[in-house]
A and B are shown apart, each in its own frame.
Chain A
Amino acid sequence: MHPAFSVVFFTTATGAGYGLLALLGLLGGFGVIPADFWLGLVGMGLALGLIAAGLLSSAGHLGRPERAWRAFSQWRSSWLSREGVASVATFIPAGLFGIGWVFLGKSSGGVAAAGLLTAAGAVMTICTTGMIYASLKPIAQWHSRYTLPAYLIFAAMTGSVLANALLQGFKLGSTAMPIWALLATLAGWGWKLATWRYNDRLEIPTTANTATGLAGGTVRSIEWPHTEENYLLKEMGFRIARKHSAKLRRITQALAFAVPSILLAAVFFLPWPLGAVASVLAAVAQLTGMLVERWLFFAEAKHTVTLYYGRE
């Protein structure tokens, strides 16, 4: 599948944004993170900013962005429509929570309820994003039991690493937050390795034989219907060299998982300004690495239409 940058950025940014928003809603709403104006403003600004930037980027991917409002109508059948509804609906409790926690400096009570609803909305939105990909049968690498948990785990992971950077930056770091961020990063690493292992061994029942209805033997494409690349090949027939894929997987592992793990572990041993710097660097490295991971998620996915063009 063609890795359009707008969609790669959209899924990475909103994943991190909703992850951070859910954590702030839960930890802030129940007073685990004390209500602090500047911390709250920067934290909520970062979370909602990432979400808004991602949503705008995804609208830029549309052929007719001025009609985007229509996408809220088909939530009964379409995961993309559900994502639109859930993402916008989450802004309501998030706004109320932001007013209560950031501007009024309150925790518990109504603010806690708003925080809880914010977290629930964020989790639901991430689920709908994951299901857009997990529900597509023509793409075996996406239509698997690994896809939905991956979106949830990566959102929790990037959200936690951002929350840790935020708390460290405001000198409010506890030992619990870097431990949680480190564990989430290790969980993300494990899940990505398991997913790659599963995809590399995938045996897809759909072949050129079932695609053409020609039973038995081999079906070899000898002539395309057209001489130039068409929409299908540009959108669905994206190919990357195997050696590039291996290199990009190593870059993903280094930037998204290994470097942040080392930096988060170092936070325990570093005094304040250095620990905060390490936490911010961990977040920057991880988000960069996740952009590469998401690029690979698209580039390594093979659509059944490529079978018609003799691309195994």
Chain B
Amino acid sequence: MTCLPARTEKKLGLVIDLDTCVGCQACVTACKEWNTGGHMAPLTDIDPYGGHVDGVWFNRVHSYEHTTELGGRTVNFPRSCLHCEQPACVTVCPTGASYKRASDGIVLVDEDKCIGCKLCSWACPYGARELDTDVGVMKKCTLCVDRIYNDNLAEEDRVPACVAACPTSARHFGDLGDPASAISQLVEERGGVALMPELGYQPTNRYLPPRARSQRAAKVDAPALEPIRAEGGFLGWIDRMLSN
């Protein structure tokens, strides 16, 4: 059913730290590697060695220059499904292929029911859904549903592939519906924000804004040069003689 659950037992999602993300794309490749053999497999690549490369990715990292009165900084910005509480991508689906799980809030696509009408990708403001033109169905982030509950993996590996791969621990996974969870407290402590809150999709994922500039940083401004006071005595006489 594409009607949304009134509430979900958990709100599993990601918290992404824009302060520590270095834009290395490790999460992007780890996501592709896992998911091209995972729940939504394959993540088709079209013309991968040709001039018009295209293909399905669940996670893409943008880079922005954020300029304020305090100066400019580069911000690397990973973009993926936010597993919204009000996902219009689910309610617009005419076939019931898209659904939001009542147990953990993960938004998924049943590939066997999808007709590839593209309407869900129009309804998503965040660009989280990409059509696999080879298979003719819509694909999206599964929050690695085939890892996080996978008893065959060691417990520490039961996190999404992107979280496991991040070398700077900029990506965090957990239950954002539980205010006592480590991830919720991180959001609380760092003032995590939702993207495009004005549209009312109520995303589960949060982004931690870059930290304020440190006051301990070195001053880059050098003091202005001052004219040298004229020396008197012997050295002054030499200075005058040599200046002539």
Is A214 interfacial (CB 8 A cutoff)? Answer: yes
A-chain residues with CB within 8 Å of residue B182 when the two chains form the complex: none
Task: Let me know if A210 and B198 touch, CB within 8 A.
Answer: yes
Task: Let me know if B115 and A65 touch, CB within 8 A.
Answer: yes
Is B54 interfacial (CB 8 A cutoff)? Answer: yes
Is A14 interfacial (CB 8 A cutoff)? Answer: no
Given A78-B93, A205-B198, A228-B53, is A213 in contact with B18 using a C-beta cutoff of 8 Å? yes
Task: Let me know if A70 and B94 touch, CB within 8 A.
Answer: yes
Is A218 interfacial (CB 8 A cutoff)? Answer: yes
Q: What sequence of 0s and 1s flags, for each residue 188-209 of chain B, a beta carbon within 8 Å of any chain A beta carbon? A: 0000011111111100000101
Task: Let me know if A213 and B209 touch, CB within 8 A.
Answer: yes
Alpha-carbon distance A225/B55, docked complex (angstroms): 12
- Chain B residue nearest to A2 (CB atoms) is B118
Alpha-carbon distance A98/B91, docked complex (angstroms): 36
The residue that B123 contacts in the complex, of A72, A74, A138, A229, with Cβ under 8 A, is A138
Task: Let me know if A63 and B62 touch, CB within 8 A.
Answer: no
Is A79 interfacial (CB 8 A cutoff)? Answer: yes
* Size bracket, chain B contacts: 35 or more
Interface size on A, residues (CB 8 A): 59
Q: What sequence of 0s and 1s flags, for each residue 212-243 of chain A, a beta carbon within 8 Å of any chain B beta carbon? A: 11111111111111111111100110000000
B-chain residues with CB within 8 Å of residue A129 when the two chains form the complex: none
Task: Let me know if A228 and B54 touch, CB within 8 A.
Answer: yes
B-chain residues with CB within 8 Å of residue A308 when the two chains form the complex: 62, 77, 79, 126-127
Q: What sequence of 0s and 1s flags, for each residue 175-194 of chain B, a beta carbon within 8 Å of any chain A beta carbon? A: 00000000000000000011
Is B131 interfacial (CB 8 A cutoff)? Answer: yes
Task: Let me know if A232 and B62 touch, CB within 8 A.
Answer: no
The residue that B196 contacts in the complex, of A211, A225, A230, with Cβ under 8 A, is A211
Task: Let me know if A63 and B136 touch, CB within 8 A.
Answer: yes
Is A42 interfacial (CB 8 A cutoff)? Answer: no
B-chain residues with CB within 8 Å of residue A1 when the two chains form the complex: 122
Given A65-B115, A210-B196, A231-B54, is A224 in contact with B62 using a C-beta cutoff of 8 Å? yes
- Chain A residue nearest to B117 (CB atoms) is A62
Alpha-carbon distance A307/B130, docked complex (angstroms): 17
Alpha-carbon distance A137/B197, docked complex (angstroms): 12
Task: Let me know if B60 and A136 touch, CB within 8 A.
Answer: no
- Chain A residue nearest to B16 (CB atoms) is A213
B-chain residues with CB within 8 Å of residue A175 when the two chains form the complex: none
- Chain B residue nearest to A206 (CB atoms) is B196
Give B62-85 interface residues, CB cut-off 8 Å to A.
Answer: 62-69, 74-75, 77, 79
Q: What sequence of 0s and 1s flags, for each residue 41-83 of chain A, a beta carbon within 8 Å of any chain B beta carbon? A: 0000000000000000000011111011011111011111100
Alpha-carbon distance A223/B28, docked complex (angstroms): 15
Task: Let me know if B96 and A74 touch, CB within 8 A.
Answer: yes
B-chain residues with CB within 8 Å of residue A218 when the two chains form the complex: 66-67
- Chain B residue nearest to A132 (CB atoms) is B119
B-chain residues with CB within 8 Å of residue A213 when the two chains form the complex: 18, 193-195, 207, 209
Given A78-B92, A213-B207, is A137 in contact with B133 using a C-beta cutoff of 8 Å? no
A-chain residues with CB within 8 Å of residue B118 when the two chains form the complex: 61, 63, 235
Given A78-B93, A211-B195, A232-B130, is A63 in contact with B115 using a C-beta cutoff of 8 Å? yes
Report which residue of A62, A214, A222, A305 has the largest number of chain B beta carbons within 10 angstroms of its beta carbon.
A214
Is A135 interfacial (CB 8 A cutoff)? Answer: yes
Is B121 interfacial (CB 8 A cutoff)? Answer: yes
- Chain A residue nearest to B199 (CB atoms) is A137
CB distance from B114 to the nearest CB of A (A): 7
Give A165-217 interface residues, CB cut-off 8 Å to B.
Answer: 205-206, 208, 210-217
Binding site for B on A (CB under 8 A): 1, 61-65, 67-68, 70-74, 76-81, 84, 132, 135-139, 205-206, 208, 210-232, 235-236, 303-305, 308-309
21 cross-chain CB contacts under 8 A: A63-B131, A67-B114, A71-B117, A78-B92, A78-B94, A80-B117, A81-B94, A137-B199, A138-B125, A206-B198, A210-B195, A216-B68, A219-B65, A220-B64, A222-B63, A224-B62, A225-B62, A227-B53, A232-B130, A304-B196, A305-B124
Known: A73-B96, A212-B66, A308-B62. 10 other contacts (CB 8 A): A67-B113, A70-B94, A77-B90, A84-B94, A135-B88, A135-B92, A213-B209, A220-B65, A225-B61, A231-B130
